[in-house]
Chain A
């Protein structure tokens, strides 16, 4: 009698997806938004990972932090109050990945988009908790996805990427603070830096557990979250969540969040 095929865990599925997403050209919207984010990051940060003046491997988390702050200031989503803002989710993922690999490289783009696809699904799951416990779905998911995207960008293997997922997940739980928009750029920077720190530590063989999200005493357990694998894994191979992203700067509308996924919601 043959053994039943083992069902891959959510964590395994995420790692496999991130590492295997093909570098095919995605829709133009996400690319244009990423280009815009890269421009603002590089303008503020003054250097890219390929800058000959930059010391390789020196202060990469700090670089991600400054990138993210610049992006948040630039895109204007400091005023976004949506609990599911794709643009806010994208910023830390892009910032941490751009700090680790050249933004202009197509492989970097793929890493960011892979992280974003996972992040959207985790954010949607955290949203099911409801707002009464005050956890931020966007920022919590962003930290996790930043670690995953960074692992893809650095070419880590499956085991290392699983550790990057773990080391990012434990740093992820973040509170929502809708009345303090001035903190948002600061928080975006910290989330990005956490992703970079997780990725670099995982590359250095600081190993984490294999089920940081769904395992006993993992993230969903402590958040009191009855997770639904259908939400966590829905359409993971179709990359359908990115279509709504767009570069609204071309339309001169940077004062408000225009990620295209929700109605305009300014903070009080």
Chain B
């Protein structure tokens, strides 16, 4: 391999790498570290909760065939995969049930990729708990920084931002844990931008989670290529007028912003994360919550019609009136509203395939009409349920779990328990304790043990 001759010390990637390394070495602000713990807990529970699904098993099998066995753990499962395969599977697991986190300004869900990135190096890299958490947090922030630079035009053009920004996130996680210096980390970021994975045509299919996983794996591969000396002449893709920012968006920001360690007041996008209260597209939250509010007051046998007014984008993204399976149901507000009205709940059981095809649910779903209203903000929903006795209305301007109504610590823990207790009654407590103590842990053994298949740890 030739000696590195690449020189782009003033490139945007170099500047970003420099800031990442400074934060990694000096430690994160307390508030950021605490939010990273919440994001990690939420992502881990979301992934573990879906780890027993048939699709998860199928992808683990494919991952073993494609990349072989290795040492990297898989959320909620006993298998140990090669780092690339583990990245695909872990990001898929967190994404597939639509129960993860959300950055509403960019519609990016960074936790899935960040956890896939850090787990891909585990336990090969002997990291302290605090460093592992920092790599996770910085991987989230890097994804959000890139997404912010290309939003909103990027998503509007049909790209799936969570996937397209994922390679950079996992490249940051693995590059930091590998101990790259600024030069090698910058090359890693540039290589991660070479391929742009993720199309919104995938929404409503298993490909949505798969493409997030593949993109996360691309960042891992970029890191491996740099470590192996392949990137001696890495391209320069990030920053104007280079391809990444100009080709994937119509209105690129002039640079990729990232909190400056010398400017304590610089905002962190990580602090704007929300955690989904329902396993559905984030744009469905307000409508589902409105249905949960009205449900106890509605006699289902007397419903004549259900009218839901939302922003036009919500209709575009979640207007499917007749979903055929659980993947489609998670981006179908007619289904979410119908199931919530019927059950007074909106958890994984309400989006299971059997429930999607249940005749009573289908009947009620057909009564739901969606009305686009450009006067409404994106998070807002106005639900009108007309029965033989009159019309009931519920308006939700900011759904639970949003930035102005974040899940409390207790509520987040209840969500974790709802996901893990059906699998193993002790798994939630183990996971919560491991995440809370991670910052002070000398290694990640305790956490990794809690992240794997609960029965495996008995």
- The residues of A with any CB-CB pair to B shorter than 8 Å are 55, 57-62, 133-135, 163, 166-167, 169-171, 173-177, 179-183, 186-187, 190, 193-194, 196-197, 200-201, 203-209, 211-212, 215-219, 221-222, 224
| Contact in complex: A182, B2 (CB < 8 Å) | yes
| Contact in complex: B195, A174 (CB < 8 Å) | yes
Residues in A neighbouring B159, C-beta threshold 8 A: 222
**B421 contacts the other chain (CB 8 A):** no
**B354 contacts the other chain (CB 8 A):** no
**B214 contacts the other chain (CB 8 A):** yes
| Contact in complex: B157, A222 (CB < 8 Å) | yes
| Contact in complex: B194, A170 (CB < 8 Å) | no
A167 to B211, CA, bound (A): 8
Residues in B neighbouring A196, C-beta threshold 8 A: 66
A219 to B197, CA, bound (A): 10
Give B227-261 as 1s and 0s: 1 = Cβ < 8 Å from A's Cβ atoms: 00011111101000001101110000000000000
- The residues of B with any CB-CB pair to A shorter than 8 Å are 2, 54-55, 58-59, 61-62, 64-69, 82, 84, 88, 157-159, 163, 191, 193-207, 210-211, 214, 218, 221, 225, 230-235, 237, 243-244, 246-248
Some 28 contacts from A to B, beta carbons below 8 A apart, are A57-B65, A58-B65, A167-B211, A169-B199, A170-B198, A170-B199, A171-B214, A173-B195, A175-B196, A183-B191, A183-B231, A183-B233, A183-B234, A197-B62, A200-B66, A201-B58, A201-B62, A201-B210, A203-B62, A205-B58, A206-B58, A207-B205, A209-B204, A212-B201, A215-B201, A216-B158, A219-B201, A221-B157
Shortest Cβ distance from B30 into chain A, in angstroms?
39
Known: A166-B205, A183-B230, A201-B59. 20 other contacts (CB 8 A): A58-B69, A61-B66, A61-B84, A133-B247, A166-B202, A167-B211, A170-B207, A170-B211, A171-B195, A177-B235, A182-B230, A183-B231, A186-B225, A204-B59, A206-B207, A209-B204, A217-B201, A218-B158, A218-B201, A219-B199
Interface centre among B84, B159, B194, B214 (most CB of A within 10 A): B194
Residues in A neighbouring B225, C-beta threshold 8 A: 186
- Known contacts A60-B65, A175-B244; is A206 also within 8 Å of B59 by CB? yes
| Contact in complex: B214, A170 (CB < 8 Å) | yes
The 8 closest A-B pairs by CB, nearest first: A59-B68, A217-B158, A217-B200, A134-B243, A208-B207, A204-B58, A61-B66, A177-B235
Residues in B neighbouring A176, C-beta threshold 8 A: 243
Q: Which residue of A lies closest to B218 (CB)?
A: A190
- Known contacts A170-B211, A222-B159; is A133 also within 8 Å of B246 by CB? yes
| Contact in complex: B194, A197 (CB < 8 Å) | no
A57 to B64, CA, bound (A): 7
A-B contact count (CB 8 A): 162
Residues in A neighbouring B205, C-beta threshold 8 A: 166, 207-209
Q: Which residue of B lies closest to A57 (CB)?
A: B65
Shortest Cβ distance from B241 into chain A, in angstroms?
10
Residues in B neighbouring A200, C-beta threshold 8 A: 62, 65-66
| Contact in complex: A175, B68 (CB < 8 Å) | no
Residues in A neighbouring B203, C-beta threshold 8 A: 217
Residues in A neighbouring B211, C-beta threshold 8 A: 167, 170-171
Shortest Cβ distance from B333 into chain A, in angstroms?
18
A187 to B211, CA, bound (A): 18
Residues in A neighbouring B62, C-beta threshold 8 A: 197, 200-201, 203-204, 206
Residues in B neighbouring A209, C-beta threshold 8 A: 201-202, 204-205, 207
- Known contacts A61-B67, A170-B214, A177-B194; is A207 also within 8 Å of B247 by CB? no
| Contact in complex: B214, A218 (CB < 8 Å) | no
Shortest Cβ distance from B210 into chain A, in angstroms?
5
Residues in A neighbouring B221, C-beta threshold 8 A: 190
Shortest Cβ distance from A178 into chain B, in angstroms?
10
| Contact in complex: A222, B195 (CB < 8 Å) | no
| Contact in complex: B199, A217 (CB < 8 Å) | yes
Residues in A neighbouring B66, C-beta threshold 8 A: 59-62, 193, 196-197, 200-201
Q: Which residue of A lies closest to B61 (CB)?
A: A204
Residues in B neighbouring A219, C-beta threshold 8 A: 199, 201
Q: Which residue of A lies closest to B196 (CB)?
A: A173
Shortest Cβ distance from A211 into chain B, in angstroms?
7
Q: Which residue of B lies closest to A177 (CB)?
A: B235
- Known contacts A173-B195, A175-B247; is A166 also within 8 Å of B207 by CB? yes
Cβ contact of A133, chosen from B210, B234, B235, B243, cutoff 8 A: B243
Q: Which residue of A lies closest to B54 (CB)?
A: A205
Residues in B neighbouring A207, C-beta threshold 8 A: 205-207
Shortest Cβ distance from A221 into chain B, in angstroms?
5
| Contact in complex: B199, A222 (CB < 8 Å) | yes
A215 to B203, CA, bound (A): 12
Shortest Cβ distance from A42 into chain B, in angstroms?
19
Residues in B neighbouring A197, C-beta threshold 8 A: 62, 66, 88, 214
Residues in A neighbouring B2, C-beta threshold 8 A: 182
A176 to B244, CA, bound (A): 11
Residues in B neighbouring A170, C-beta threshold 8 A: 163, 197-199, 202, 207, 210-211, 214
| Contact in complex: B82, A59 (CB < 8 Å) | yes
Shortest Cβ distance from B320 into chain A, in angstroms?
13
Shortest Cβ distance from A110 into chain B, in angstroms?
23
A167 to B230, CA, bound (A): 27
A215 to B210, CA, bound (A): 19
A211 to B204, CA, bound (A): 13
Residues in B neighbouring A181, C-beta threshold 8 A: 233
A188 to B364, CA, bound (A): 51
Residues in A neighbouring B67, C-beta threshold 8 A: 59, 61-62
A196 to B204, CA, bound (A): 23
- Known contacts A206-B58, A208-B207, A209-B207; is A182 also within 8 Å of B237 by CB? no
Shortest Cβ distance from A177 into chain B, in angstroms?
4
| Contact in complex: B88, A134 (CB < 8 Å) | no
Residues in B neighbouring A203, C-beta threshold 8 A: 62
| Contact in complex: B158, A62 (CB < 8 Å) | no
| Contact in complex: B68, A212 (CB < 8 Å) | no
Residues in A neighbouring B58, C-beta threshold 8 A: 201, 204-206
Q: Which residue of A lies closest to B232 (CB)?
A: A182
